[in-house]
Amino acid sequence: MGQPQPQKPIAAEQQILSLGRVLQSLREEDDVDVLIETTISYLKEQFDYKLIWIALYDRLNHILFGKGGITPDRDMSFLHQRVVLSPGDLLEQVVIEQHPLGVADLQTEIRAAEWRKIAEKFHIQGTIILPIRYKDRCLGLLLLGSERWGYLLTGETKARLMMVLGELGAVLYQNETHKQQKQTRRSDEPLLELLGNLRTLSNLNQRLEAAVQATHKFVSPNRTNVYWFEREGRYFWCRMSNQLVKMDRNSTSQQAAGMTVQELSDFYYALAVNEIVSIGDARSSLNSHFTAKLLQRLKVRSLLAAPIIWQKNLVGFLAVESNEPRIWTDTDRNFVQGVAGLISLVVPTESMESTIKQIQEDAQLTSQVAQGIYSEHDLQITLHSCAKRVLARLGATRFLLLQYDSEQKNYQFTYQSQPHNRRPLTFTLHALKELDGQLLQSSTQALEIENLDEDLRFFNWRPSLLENNVRSLLVCKCTHEHIPAALLVITHETYRSWTTLEKELLWAVSQQIGVIVRQWQLHNRTTQQQKTSQAFEQCLRILTQSQNSIEVEKKHLEHTALEQIASILGCPLALMLSWTPGESWAEIIPGVIDNSQFGIFSDAFISIQTEALIQWALATETYLTLKVDNLPPETRKWLNIPDKSQILVMALRTNADYEATGVVLLVDYQERRWSEQNLSAIATLISQLAWWRRQKQITRLLESTTEELRQLNWYKHRRLEEIQRITAHSLKQIHDLGIPANELTQMRYQLLLRQLDHTATSMSGMLKLEHWQLHISWETMPIASLLKRSLERIENQLKQQKLWIGVHGLGQPIDEPEAPKNSSLVRGVPSSSAQSAMAIAGDIVKIELVIHELLVTACNRSQTGSRIDIWCRRLDPSKPSDTKHSSTTGGSEHQTSLELSITYNGAIEPQLLTELHNNTPKDVLAPSNLDQPPALHLVICQNLVQELGGELNFYQLPDNRVVSRLLLPLAIHDS
């Protein structure tokens, strides 16, 4: 591919002797420059190359430093240049792979941009690049360029060249190792000397001065400075410099001017985690963007800074600065870091007395907080003393104790302390984000946010806190739940940081406050439970007391019950809006009025239908809470309460189907918090009061009804006694007069006399057996006879209303010719010769009265000239069709029964049908159609038939006919 490089015509012996001499020279020489010159002389003498270049490799900075060579025009300037290696470069490839690389024509090689220009200038083509290495470590490289095309080396030439380069690499490696060892030993001596000097000096400034001078002497930068960190304000100031010794933080010089953490953000955070910052020639431990910004701020080209840390807190840093790009060696780094460590050890001596005093004060503070756990003082008093000392100790603005509200899912301020010229915070803080919650949950010390504007933690708190001038804060969890229920927060209005000791102190205080908070929560919970228990006990005792019929006594008990209910929440106003079912206006019953700002107009007329509070309470299953803003103007006319109030209303109702008898209303201050436990107790007591009021109202209703019925029964019974006496006396007189002689008159006379005797006898039996309760007798009667007697009793009403009655099912066909005039418009009742054998069993008198009541009702509800049908049918339980048809009849269907249905076309209220249904629950206190005749008579008939072993139901057919279905037992012999 090319021709071998031409060599000088020398004998083989001379080549071997020259090789031996150069190898011997390399072994015996220590100076690197002499080694390079010896190698270049040998190459120039033994090899015919127009361009020779030797460079040494800095592996830390990935840079080649030119050390010399030969050129055709003897211009040596570019042979000493510094070459920064870049990816894809030919020189980097040789350095990394450590293998020779040949180029046929260097002028056309795109991977060696700088060398292409040189090759064109000197007409260099064939080039070979060889690494100078030792033990897999590249120490430099050799570049050989020729004016001929190609890059091939013969075996003998390559062997001599590799031997020379191998020996050069071994000597360079030994020299570098020896230099590092020598430098290490040199750094030990000045550090030990500095340590001795620090022992003899009395104050911190003198020690800082000695440290700066020793560092400046060893590293030899342009400047050596010690910067000190001020936590309040978060800035660094130059405390000591080799140029301006014993500088003051108030100095006006540019060197002493403060540098804020905001300016040095990445630099500051690296130092805070105890990392040394190195910025040298083309190399930096920080990102490139911030590196340029930092060098511009300090007006230097190179920087080496080591943190000064005491008790995990950044106190400051030691910096060596250079105005030129400089490569910092490991020795430089180790020395600066060692001096910074020595400064860290002598820092505490400056404030030893104040530190001891501070530790004592901190111990006293934690002791006083701990005493609050066992003291009887109010929680606010304990926290006030603690907050005052903590704010003074930490130099903070606000002391905030947050409590998590699980119902509203936010944190509320249960206690806060701030300077007199600052207003308390009035907002709430959102629940923690999941990441912040996990961070707090795993924390074992206070979480510090030095700059709220930049920190992403507690991000959803940021807007509210920044709006109230909070710029930095410390957060401690007081409890260890999954969601910390209590948090202690210390804030400041400027950007600042706190020491580890301060954070540990706040953590200790927060844990003790957590114990106090839990203790007071338990105490308050126990107190509240005792108050609730007492209220329950007192309320139950009040509600179980016997009540007189006097209305004043009733109101007194309700007033006392309202007092006990209000005591659970401590409400300043409690009252009841009371009414009786069916009324339109509610009465105000006051319970508690403990504040002049809360009041009512007790004489106001409150409409049940239009009052919003009443209707809202009736529409709510349990209790309802609302703000004053929700009240309409009509309610505010009788309810006088402040604008910042909250209201609880609950209807006095025992069941969703029962009528409410009132509404309990409680009013409290808006800032007061009602717990679920208290609200549950309130709801229970109000429900108990509702039951008590219902039972009392039912009792009064039943007592009143019983009293009325007793009076009515007494009056009717005494009247019947008088009628019976007069009737018996009249019969005696008739008997005494004798029987008339006329045969026809005699027959009628005897018939009327028998009827009077029968009536008098029945009245005697009723007066004797049914004085204060019904007596059920047992007799039988054919249904035809019973119907005939019942129809005879309503004959006059049928004639007046021109009603038609048809009886079906007694053996007579339904369609008959027109009835005779003396039939009273009754069709279908068989004559005595054709009567059905069906007979009913039971108290015939009462059954006859029931049938009569049903017929009277049918007549009254029928239109003039309309028709009434009576259907009779035997029901045999052995027949499936009868059983299916009578599926709602109940127990009477186990025997043969008679179904008597009375149908007519008439109007009947759907509500009345619903109320007459046996399975419909009835509210005793609710206004009902069944309380007055004629519906009352139908209910009485229903109950009476049930006692007689039958059933009575009312319903409406699809064609709007009304049916009264009566089920009666048939006589046994008939079955």
Pairing label, strands 599-600, 639-640:
antiparallel
Q: Residue 489: is its pLDDT beyond 90?
A: yes
pLDDT digits (tens, 9 = 90+) for 763-818: 777 777 777 777 888 889 999 999 998 898 888 889 999 999 999 988 643 333 33
pLDDT digits (tens, 9 = 90+) for 617-634: 998 888 898 888 888 988
Per the CB < 8 A criterion, the answer to whether 862 and 806 are in contact is: no
pLDDT digits (tens, 9 = 90+) for 584-599: 899 888 888 877 778 7
Look at 505 and 825; give whichever has higher pLDDT. Answer: 505
pLDDT digits (tens, 9 = 90+) for 701-749: 888 887 777 776 775 766 677 677 777 877 777 777 676 777 777 787 7
Q: How many helices (H) and strands (E) does the chain have?
A: 25, 35
pLDDT of the residue at 400: 93
pLDDT digits (tens, 9 = 90+) for 223-255: 999 999 888 888 889 999 988 644 555 444 444
pLDDT digits (tens, 9 = 90+) for 9-36: 555 677 788 777 878 878 888 788 888 8
pLDDT of the residue at 825: 46
pLDDT of the residue at 690: 85
Cis peptide before 934 (omega within 30 of 0): yes
Secondary structure (3-state) at 365: helix
Residue 185: pLDDT band with limits 50, 70, 90 = low
User: Could you write out the DSSP letters of every residue in 473-526?
Assistant: EEEEESS-SSS-SEEEEEEESS-B---HHHHHHHHHHHHHHHHHHHHHHHHHHH
The chain-wide mean pLDDT, for the chain, equals 81
Q: What are phi and psi of 132, to 5 degrees?
A: -100, 110
pLDDT digits (tens, 9 = 90+) for 91-101: 888 988 888 98
302: tokens are 């190179």
Per the CB < 8 A criterion, the answer to whether 308 and 344 are in contact is: yes
> Lowest-pLDDT range, 107-116, 249-258, 646-655, 793-802?
249-258
Question: In terms of Cα–Cα distance, which of 516, 518, 530 is closest to 379?
Answer: 516
CA dihedral sign, ordered 674, 675, 680, 682: negative
The torsion of the CA quartet 732, 733, 737, 741, rounded to 10 degrees, works out to -70
Burial of residue 628 (number of CB atoms within 10 Å: 0-12, 13-18, 19+): middle
Secondary structure (3-state) at 88: coil
Q: Residue 187: is its pLDDT beyond 70?
A: yes
Residue % of the chain over a pLDDT of 90: 15
Alpha-carbon distance 305 to 328, whole Å? Answer: 11
pLDDT digits (tens, 9 = 90+) for 455-483: 889 888 999 999 999 999 999 998 887 77
CA dihedral sign, ordered 675, 678, 681, 686: negative
Amino acid symbol at 327? I
Whole-prediction pTM value? 0.47
Per the CB < 8 A criterion, the answer to whether 839 and 781 are in contact is: yes
In this prediction, residues 655-664 reach a mean pLDDT of 86
Q: Residue 612: is its pLDDT beyond 50?
A: yes
Write the CB contacts of 233 (distance below 8 Å, at least 6 apart in sequence).
258, 260, 494, 495, 496
> Lowest-pLDDT range, 100-109, 442-451, 565-574, 770-779?
770-779
Question: In terms of Cα–Cα distance, which of 390, 238, 750 is closest to 401?
Answer: 390
Alpha-carbon distance 539 to 561, whole Å? Answer: 6
Q: Residue 159: is its pLDDT beyond 60?
A: yes
pLDDT of the residue at 737: 66
pLDDT of the residue at 182: 66
Alpha-carbon distance 70 to 32, whole Å? Answer: 18
